[in-house]
């Protein structure tokens, strides 16, 4: 392998820059050329890239977002699009690719490899933490800290006004952000897609809290939860059924994807990406690097895509106990 390409794809996540830096610096260390494609697969299709060296990534470890930019390329979903990308990789003399992103990115990479036989290593970068084969994805820890900081602020005003707040967090169809930030911020209830609490139990729980003397409450709602009402309808429903509650809604939105990465995410990105380069130089391919039980481990892309990383249901029990 003489030349490695790197790109970031899908929703950006804090720590992607630390990941790019680690790929570029590891390549420099091992005397391997590195080029960075802009806007994920779209940059591969358009041949939009830059040659990178150890100095092109200086001072980016602290920055959120991704200097290579990110996109969800529709064209790459087509055979023609993937052919253009393969032609451009050939023209740029790229021997292997490191793909930083989530499950959509890895699915694209797997098909691309099946059709064009370019060795690929995936690096899990998404705030959602919803990838099999790793305990943590790059960006998850930072997003949790952002969410907890925001909820702490909402709690101040919630308690001053004796209010109930429904706070919607991201995660697509996975409840990792909701579950962990909910416990970290001391939420009353946490609604996640993996376990439907049900409207009756939610009302019971809020009623119980009120009776136990709580004057304000926080309910963290994952955007993909299955309770059957969106967060605004949920607040209205609670107001209708429990008129004592002054319910408000905050949707945290894309603030969760920004910001300087936490030290945990920077170290994770650094460790995963050095290994990704080393695996390619070692002749390995079609793997995803992950962090499992405190070690960097690789699994096949198939394995990473096979099933969703499972939430730890014990966390729901902990949350129930602690919201007594």
Contact set with ligand F6P (CB under 6 A): 11, 102, 126-128, 170-172, 223, 257
Query: Would you name the residues annotated as active-site residues?
Result: 128
DSSP 301: H
The answer to whether residues 108 and 41 touch, using CB atoms and an 8 Å cutoff, is yes
User: What whole-number distance in Å separates Cα of residue 207 and Cα of residue 205?
Assistant: 5
Best CA proximity match to 144, nearest among 128, 168, 133, 158:
128
Three-state SS at 232: helix
User: What whole-number distance in Å separates Cα of residue 222 and Cα of residue 169?
Assistant: 5
Q: Is 175 annotated as a binding residue?
A: no
Best CA proximity match to 274, nearest among 30, 42, 22:
22
Residue 217 vs 250, nearer CB to ligand F6P:
250
Q: Is 105 annotated as a binding residue?
A: yes
State the minimum distance, in angstroms, from the CB of residue 280 to ligand F6P: 26
State the minimum distance, in angstroms, from the CB of residue 154 to ligand F6P: 19
State the minimum distance, in angstroms, from the CB of residue 151 to ligand F6P: 17
SS percent in the chain: helix, strand, coil, step 5: 45, 20, 35
Q: Is 208 annotated as a binding residue?
A: no
Residue 223 vs 265, nearer CB to ligand F6P:
223
Q: Is 254 annotated as a binding residue?
A: yes
User: What whole-number distance in Å separates Cα of residue 279 and Cα of residue 292?
Assistant: 17
Q: Is 26 annotated as a binding residue?
A: no
State the minimum distance, in angstroms, from the CB of residue 10 to ligand F6P: 6
Annotated binding site: 11, 21-25, 72-73, 102-105, 126-128, 155, 163, 170-172, 186-188, 214-216, 223, 248, 254-257
Annotated binding site for ATP: 11, 72-73, 102-105
Annotated binding site for ADP: 21-25, 155, 186-188, 214-216
């Amino acid at each position: 392998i003489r030349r490695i390409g790197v790109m970031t794809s899908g929703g950006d996540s804090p720590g992607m820059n630390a990941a790019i830096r680690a790929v570029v610096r590891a390549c420099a260390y091992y005397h391997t050329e590195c080029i960075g494609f802009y806007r994920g697969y779209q940059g591969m299709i358009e041949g939009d890239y830059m040659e990178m060296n150890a100095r092109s990534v200086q001072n980016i470890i602290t920055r959120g977002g991704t200097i290579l930019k990110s996109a969800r390329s529709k064209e790459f979903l087509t055979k023609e699009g993937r052919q253009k990308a393969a032609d451009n990789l050939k023209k740029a003399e790229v021997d292997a690719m490191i793909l930083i992103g989530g499950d959509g990115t890895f699915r694209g990479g797997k098909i691309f490899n099946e059709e064009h036989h370019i060795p690929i290593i995936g690096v899990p970068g998404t705030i959602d933490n919803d990838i099999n084969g790793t305990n943590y994805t790059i960006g998850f820890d930072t997003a949790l800290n952002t969410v907890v900081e925001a909820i702490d602020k909402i709690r101040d005003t919630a308690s001053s006004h004796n209010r109930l707040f429904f706070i919607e967090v991201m995660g697509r169809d996975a409840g990792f952000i909701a579950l962990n930030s909910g416990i970290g911020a001391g939420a009353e209830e946490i609604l996640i897609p993996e376990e439907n609490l049900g409207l009756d139990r939610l009302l019971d729980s809020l009623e119980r809290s009120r009776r136990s003397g709580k004057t304000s409450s926080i309910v963290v709602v994952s955007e993909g939860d299955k309770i059957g009402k969106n967060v605004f309808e949920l607040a209205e429903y609670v107001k209708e059924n429990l008129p004592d509650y002054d319910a408000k809604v905050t949707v945290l939105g894309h603030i969760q994807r920004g910001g300087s990465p936490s030290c945990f995410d920077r170290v994770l990105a650094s460790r995963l990406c050095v290994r990704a380069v080393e695996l390619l130089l070692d002749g390995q391919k079609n793997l995803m690097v992950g962090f499992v039980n405190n070690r960097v481990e690789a699994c096949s892309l198939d394995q990473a895509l096979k099933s969703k990383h499972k939430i730890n249901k014990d966390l729901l029990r902990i949350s129930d106990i602690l919201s007594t």
